[in-house]
Amino acid sequence: MRGKQVNVRIEESLYEWLKKKAEKERRSMTSQLNIILEKEKANATA
């Protein structure tokens, strides 16, 4: 399933943090961001 494309602006420090976290986990930044958002969604609905 193909997701929606969304363009967002984020602070440089958040960008660098996300980039490093994705590299550490061997994921793309998009995949890493999706995982972070899914976890946040699960916590918000729990």
Which among 39, 41, 18, 13 is positioned nearest to 28, based on CA atoms?
18
Instruction: Write the pLDDT tens digit of every residue in 6-19.
Output: 999 999 999 999 99
| Tokens linked to 22 | 């994705």
Does 40 map to a domain? yes
Instruction: pLDDT band for 45, please (50, 70, 90 cuts).
Output: confident
Q: Is the pTM higher than 0.75?
A: yes
| Tokens linked to 11 | 């602070």
Does 25 map to a domain? yes
Instruction: Write the pLDDT tens digit of every residue in 16-37.
Output: 999 999 999 999 999 999 999 9
Domain span at residue 30? Answer: 12-45
Does 33 map to a domain? yes
Does 6 map to a domain? no
Alpha carbon separation from 11 to 8, 14, 18 (Å, rounded): 10, 5, 11
| Strands (E) located in 1-46 | none
C-alpha span between 35 and 41 (Å, rounded): 10
Total number of domains in the chain: 1
